[in-house]
Structure 1
C-alpha cells in the first residue's frame, strides 16, 4: 500500500478491495458515492480512453448499495467510431452487478463559427482554504466552512473538493477527479434543514473540457422534489471557470437520513 489514502486496493487485473476510506454515512458496510463512480471512471478511462478524445459524458447507474467486499469489473467497447466512442463497465460484488457505467467520448475538433449563450460562471472560492480536509462547503448567507452541519439550511449550496485517489498507487486523472467531485451534486442539491434524506440512484457528468486543478467547485443550479423523488443539477468549476454539469436523481430514504449535526464519521463523505 502507498502512503496516500485511496478508496480501493487492487487485488488482481480485474479485482479491487474497498478500504476504510470508501465507507459511507449510509451504513457501516456501504460504500460512498465518490468511491463507486470514481472506480467506474478509472476503469473506463484506463481501458478505453484515447488522448485525441474528450470523455464528454459519464452516466453511472447505482443499482444496489455497494459494500465493503471484493469488487470485480466487466467492460466492453460498444462503438469505436471516428468521432464518437462508446464504452460500458459493470462493477460486480458477490456475483451481482451493483453499478453500471456508460462513457461517451468525442474526438477533439475545431470549434464552429460564431458565439453562443453561456451561463454566467462566477464561483468564489473559499478565501481561507482548509487544506486538511477534502471538502469545504458553503451556502448563501453562511459563507464557507469545513463542516457540512453548518449548512443544514434551505439556502443554495456549493462545495469545493479535492478527491483522494480511487485506486491505491494510482494518482487520479483530471477526468476521474471531475467525476468524483461531481458526485457532490447530490450533497449540494439534497442537503436540507434536517440533513440529507435522499439517496441518489445515479450520476451523470457532462464535460466540455477537463479540469485544470485538483480542487473542483460544485455549485447547485436546481433542486426539484415531489413524492419522495428528487432531481438535482450543479455546475462544475475550476480556476478557469465552469467546465461541466452534474445531474442526479434520488429517492427518499428517511429511515437512514444523515443528520450531520450528529455525525459519527466527520471525515467521511456520504
Structure 2
C-alpha cells in the first residue's frame, strides 16, 4: 500500500483500496469524507464528464461508515441532454452501498443580460502559506494557523487548503479538487469549543466555475443546530474570488466527539 499522500490505490480487478491517508478521526477503521467524496468525483468525471459541460452540482450521500476495505463503484448515466447531463454512482464495500453520489452538469453558455445581486463576501487569503501543509485554519479574532485545535471556539471559521491525490496514478482535476476541499464545510461549520461532535451524512457542492489552481478556501456562512441535527453552509473561494457553495447536514455523534486538542490520530485528514 502506498506511503505517498493518496487516498486510494487502484487494484487489478477494478476496485479501489483505501490507504492510511483515507482514515478519519472518528475511529481506527473509518474513512474520511474527503476520500469518499473525492472517489465519487473522480469516477463520475472520468465516466461522464464532457469539456463543454461544467460539473455544477455534486451531492454525495454518506449512507454508512466506509471502512478500509476494497471499494467498488457502480455508475449510471441518468440523462444525456443537450443542456443538462445527470449521472450517478454507488460506492460499494462487501456488497453494501456505503455512499451514493449524483452529478449535474450544465452546458456552458453565454450569460443572460442584466446584473444580479451577489453577497458582499470577502475572504482574506493567508499572507504566508506552508506548502508542506495541506490545510491552514482561521477563526475570527484568531488569525491563520496550521492547527485545527487552535480554533476550537465559537467564532466563524475558514480554511485554505489543497487536496492530496485521490486515486494513485490519476491527477486530481480542478473539479475533484473543489469537491474534496468543499467537504471541509463540515469542519468550518461544526467545529466548536469542544471539537466536532456532528458527523455529516452528506455533502452538496455547487460550482459556477472551476478553481484557478490547487489552493481553495472554505468559509462558513451559516450554521443551525437543534435536537442533535445541524445544517451548515459555506462559500468556496480561490485567488480569483468566490466560485461556489457547500452544504452539509449532520447528526450528533457525541459519544466519540473529536477533540483536536486531544486527538489520537493527529496526522489524519478530517
| Number of the residue aligned with 1:158 | 158
| Number of the residue aligned with 2:191 | 191
- C-alpha deviation, 1:269, in angstroms: 1.5
User: Whose strand fraction is larger, Structure 1's or Structure 2's?
Assistant: 1
What's the CA shift string for 1:70-114, capped at 9, x where partnerless? 000000000000000000000000000000000000000000001
Uncovered stretches (5+) of structure 2, i.e. residues with no partner: none
Cα distance change on mapping 1:163 and 1:108 into 2, 3 Å = same
What's the CA shift string for 1:101-150, capped at 9, x where partnerless? 00000000000001101112321111221221101000000010000000
Q: How does 1:1-270 map to 2 (within 5 A)?
A: 4-12=4-12, 14-270=14-270
CA distance in 1, matches of 2:137, 2:267: 13
Decide whether the 8 Å contact of 1:44 with 1:103 is kept in 2: yes
- C-alpha deviation, 1:4, in angstroms: 4.3
SS at match of 2:29: strand
What's the CA shift string for 1:27-74, capped at 9, x where partnerless? 110000000000000000000000000000000000000000000000
Decide whether the 8 Å contact of 1:5 with 1:168 is kept in 2: no
CA distance in 2, matches of 1:240, 1:12: 40
CA distance in 2, matches of 1:43, 1:12: 16
- C-alpha deviation, 1:267, in angstroms: 2.1
CA distance in 1, matches of 2:13, 2:86: 22
CA distance in 1, matches of 2:166, 2:215: 16
- C-alpha deviation, 1:3, in angstroms: 7.6
CA distance in 2, matches of 1:57, 1:12: 31
Moved more, 83-92 or 256-265: 256-265
CA RMSD for the aligned pairs? 1.1
CA distance in 2, matches of 1:36, 1:44: 12
Moved more, 196-205 or 7-16: 7-16
Decide whether the 8 Å contact of 1:2 with 1:169 is kept in 2: no
SS at match of 1:37: helix
**TM norm structure 2:** 0.98
SS at match of 2:179: helix
Decide whether the 8 Å contact of 1:229 with 1:250 is kept in 2: yes
